[in-house]
Structure formats: structure tokens, C-alpha cells
Amino acid sequence: MTGFVGAVIEAWDEIRIHRLRVSLSLLAIGLAIAVMTATLALGQQMAQATQESTEKWGGRSVTLMAEFWAEDPAGQQKVVNAVDDFVDRYEITYTSRILRPWGEFTTRGGALDWVEMIAVDPAYATIHRIETIRGSWFGEGDVQRLAPAVVVNEMLLEMAGVPTDLSVQPDLVMKSMTGGADISFVVIGVVPSEGEWDSPRAYALYDGLTAGASEQEKQNWGSPQYELWLTPADAATAQTKLQTELQPLVGEYGYVNVYPMSQMMGGGEDFFSGIRTLILGIGIAVLVLGAVSLVNVSLVTVQQRVREIGIRRSFGAASGRVFFSIMMESVVGTFLAGVVGVAIAIVALRYLPVMDWLMMPVQDTPPFPMGAAVQGIVWATVIGALAGLLPGIFATRVRPIDAMRA
């Protein structure tokens, strides 16, 4: 152990003495390690961004969708009660009713040809990763409002001709299609639009909306759908049980369909595997070039240290000791280059908006993969060991007589 520590200290001293040459040869290795580790971590973030994008539309993995239609209103209510009982019985935390009411809409800026109205429960935002950029999502007290609360997207406010900062209410009103009272909404939050092709959208609180609608209006809207977010292990069992419990309640001509709405996007990593493999290949090529440069520098350094090595041999230094000390100079240098390269990758991915530049925003940024960091340092150390073989062998062939001639 003492010999190993001594060799490491000796290698560090030699690196300090020849720091300019060594630094230039290790620069390429450090940059290659930074690129390789950053690529592995970036691939993980890309997979997370792909997963989140899918979950915004299809719900979390696994989200079950329950659709049903009964022959008569009494049977319809029985199915609704059965689903609510199922949710309570199995203590499903995140579940939401979904209703898509329709009607004519008017705003402060005039009538809108079409608005995508979705009545949901508060858990809908968690299931679909919805985040407001102004105001807030639905809370416990919103159901008590005199006017139903809604969260709208930026597109709706722009088409209504009002600012998107909620400084002015758009006066959103849905006209009754059955001759009943019109429903006026109060906007409490704003979500970002999905792009220039997005349509005006409003999320209404389910209980708040249905409380102010007539029975005929609600019948025209139809029955709600249910979304239930479950763990993958529980989803298959819950799907079968819920389908079995609801089927007898809809009648002979009714239907029940329970299916997984979300898709298991474990292939997000595979989606970017080609690009990641290409960048890793480039990184390995740069590593090899850096190793060649390091070998050249080490050989020149050993040739300049012939006197020193010869004197050490004359005082009894074994060939193995000389070989190990020379090789350790490369190992220590590349190890430090690997550490610096990993540090550069961590800092770059943490403080630079790389995912925003790629137009792939991430809500839950995964931690930097320690496996990638360790792999980068190991790669650098292995390259150092290989690069130190030839200079080490050359050093073992130096004879004491060479020191006298030098």
C-alpha cells in the first residue's frame, strides 16, 4: 500500500513539473469525457421529456379510462355510483370525472365559433401534468363560487381580446342549448397554449359546472368518463374488476369500456439511442486521439528523464517499480481529466437551458446519472493505463550506463 501511495505522489509531482505538456494532452481527454457523460445524462432527460409530453395527452402510466352508457337514466346513475364506490374502496388517490359540455360561447371580444370545454376534477391536473402560468388551478373552495370557475389557455384569452395576465376578465359565457339560463364563468388560471395550431380551451370544475346547469342540459351533455391513475402493477387487476362490476349495470344494450389510456413510454431512451450512440462514438474517437497525444508526450518526457531513471536503477529500483511509477503518471493525469470532464458535464446540464434550446421542456428533471459519471471516470482511467504502457516499457529498458551518457 505504501508503494502505491508513493507512486501516486510521485506521479502527481511529475504532472506538476510538466503541467503545460500534460495539460495540453489531457485537454482532449477531458473534453471527450465531458461530451460522453453529458450525452448519457442528456439522453435520460430527453426520455423524460418524451414521457412527460405523452402524459400530458394520455395521462400518467397507467391511467385507466372508464367509458359507459346505460339504457336508462337510472342505470346511468347506478354506474356512476359504482365507479365512485370502486374509487373509495380501493383508495385511488388520483381520479377525475371528465365531461365535454357543448354550446355557443361569447366573450368580451364577441362570439367564439368553438371552444373546447372540459369539465374535470382537481386531480386532472396531476394526471395530465397541467401547470398554470397565471393564477392557479382548482382548489377546494372553488366549487362554492357563484359563477363556475374555469382555467383557460392563452389562445382563448387572445381570441377574446383581453390580456393573458388575468388583469381583465374575458366575460366567458356559455349559452344554454335547451332554453335555460346561460352560464357565466370566472377565469381563475391560465395554461400555456400548445402552439399556433392550438384551439381555445377551457377547463371547468366539474361540480361547479353541473351545479349551475339544468337537468335537461346535463342529459344533453351525456354521462361522464372517468380517469383513474394507478400503478402498473395494479392497473391490469383494476381494469378487469371495474369492467366486471359495471357490465351488469348498463343493461342488455348498454356498454362499458375500461382501457389503459396512457402508453408505457419506456422507449423514450430508445427513441434517441441512435443520436446518443453517434455522439458516444465521436467521444470515444476523441478519447483515442487524446490517448495517442498523451503517449507521445509521455515518451518525450521519459526520454528527457533518462538520467533520473538510470540513477534510480543504479540504486536498486526494480523494473516493475519504474514501470508502475511511469504508468501511474498517465493514470493519475487521465483520472483528473475524467473528474474535470464529469464536473463540466454536470455544471453544463444544470445551469444551461439545454432542454429549452432543444424545445423539450422538462417538469421533473431527473438527477444526473451517477452511472454515467462513474463510467466517464473509468473510461478516462483505462485510457490512461493503456497510454502509460508504452512509456513504462521504454522506461524499464533504461540502463544505469545510459544515465552516465546522458
The last residue of one of the domains, among 260, 283, 315, is 260
Confirm if 50 and 363 have CB atoms less than 8 A apart.
no
Determine the Cα–Cα distance for residues 207 and 293; give it in Å rounded to an integer: 71
Are 236 and 96 contained in the same domain?
yes
Interval 16-43: pLDDT, tens: 555 555 566 677 778 888 887 887 788 7
Are 70 and 179 contained in the same domain?
yes
Are 120 and 225 contained in the same domain?
yes
Please state the rounded mean pLDDT for residues 323-348: 83
Please state the rounded mean pLDDT for residues 283-307: 72
Are 332 and 202 contained in the same domain?
no
Please tell me the total count of domains within the chain. Answer: 2
Are 334 and 283 contained in the same domain?
yes
Are 237 and 384 contained in the same domain?
no
Cite the beta strand spans of 35-109 per DSSP E: 63-69, 95-98, 104-107
Are 94 and 222 contained in the same domain?
yes
Are 204 and 93 contained in the same domain?
yes
Q: Which residues are CB-contacts of 376 (< 8 A; sequence separation ≥ 6)?
A: 33, 34, 36, 37, 338, 341, 342, 345
The last residue of one of the domains, among 260, 278, 304, is 260
Are 235 and 326 contained in the same domain?
no
Are 277 and 134 contained in the same domain?
no
Determine the Cα–Cα distance for residues 65 and 94; give it in Å rounded to an integer: 12
Structural domain harbouring 397: 2-55+268-405
Burial class (CB in 10 A: 0-12, 13-18, 19+), 370: exposed
Amino acid (one-letter) located at 93: T
Q: What angle do CA 323, 327, 333 make, to 5 degrees?
A: 155
Interval 223-279: pLDDT, tens: 899 999 998 888 889 999 999 999 999 888 888 999 998 644 444 445 556 666 776
Determine the Cα–Cα distance for residues 344 and 32; give it in Å rounded to an integer: 11
Interval 132-179: pLDDT, tens: 999 999 988 898 888 899 999 999 999 999 998 899 999 999 987 776
Give me the pLDDT at residue 182, please: 86
pLDDT surpasses 70 at 86: yes
The last residue of one of the domains, among 230, 260, 290, is 260
Q: Check: pTM over 0.85? Answer yes or no.
A: no
102 phi and psi, to 5 degrees?
A: -135, 155
Give me the pLDDT at residue 122, please: 95
> Beta-carbon neighbour count of residue 254 at 10 Å?
18
pLDDT band at 375 (very low <50, low <70, confident <90, very high): confident
Amino acid (one-letter) located at 157: L
Are 145 and 36 contained in the same domain?
no
Are 232 and 357 contained in the same domain?
no
Confirm if 65 and 173 have CB atoms less than 8 A apart.
no
